[in-house]
Amino acid sequence: MSKALKVALDGGPYALAAGSDGAMWVTLVHSGAIARVSVGGEVTTYAIADGARPSIIAAGPDGALWFTRSGDDRIGRITTAGELSAFELPEGSAPFGIAAGPDDAMWFTAMSTGEIGRVGTDGEISSVAVVGGMPSMITKGPDDALWFTLNEAGAVGRLTVDGALTVRELPTAAAGPVGIAATHDDAVWFTEIRADKVGRIPVHDAIQELELPGKPHAVVADPTDGVWVSLWGADQIARISGDGEVVTIDLPSGSEPHGLAIGPDGACWVALECGFVLKMPT
């Protein structure tokens, strides 16, 4: 069993990812910085740039953390020693989601230009597909394809590393999908922030939806079973078991929960834009 932990973080904690050093790394979207939170709650902050708006962060195949800079059109990289670097995208790209692919590279979404891009660990950037529809978050699926939400199109896309694209329209119109995550049951889960639902796509089957009021934002697979979901509009997080049972946990009013990540010990962490990160007890 691990205990709950609450750590204060100025600057708008938005997303987080577990690093290869066992710490949690957090984007601070308002202050333009990245924070490292140790297992004991000690914080180290690394300034990036005013207006950078670091958004989503993910562990890379090279042991570093990679993140999108939606405010100044860059992909950022930070080593566990705190060494920063950045790779420029075309102006107006607005990168947002990022995830490690099956090919030792990072894959990202560009919201404004509607592209799915790839950046190698050497920093080489390429645009793999133009998908439109405001691509948001992205994940590597259980089938080694890249799955992503299309927020404005109300759809979920699937892209193979060689560029084969499939787009599946959601059953609920104008659902506004955002978060997406692969799970242990050969499925991909996603959130529908405008429709107050979460969805599940078994790789070879039809899309399923579940009512979950509170503007679901991010989703992450629980290591044991099911998923965790942040309910941005309700100041809650929810845990959904593999058989669909929902348990909600109340957070302080005004928390604005966004990103979720699983720590090395299997505990779920959540970033609260109001100025904290929380580690849930296991």
> Which residues are known catalytic residues?
258
Rounded CA-CA distance 94/134 in Å is 10
User: Do the bridges between strand 125-130 and strand 115-120 make them parallel or antiparallel, or are there none, so unpaired?
Assistant: antiparallel
Left, alpha or beta for 123 (phi > 0: left; psi -120 to 50: alpha)? Answer: left
C-beta separation of 278 from 6 below 8 A: yes
C-beta separation of 119 from 108 below 8 A: yes
CB-based burial, 240-276: b 16+ in 10 Å, e otherwise: beeeeeeebeebeeebbbbbbbbbeeebbbbbbbbbb
**Residue pointed to by tokens 């420029």:** 88
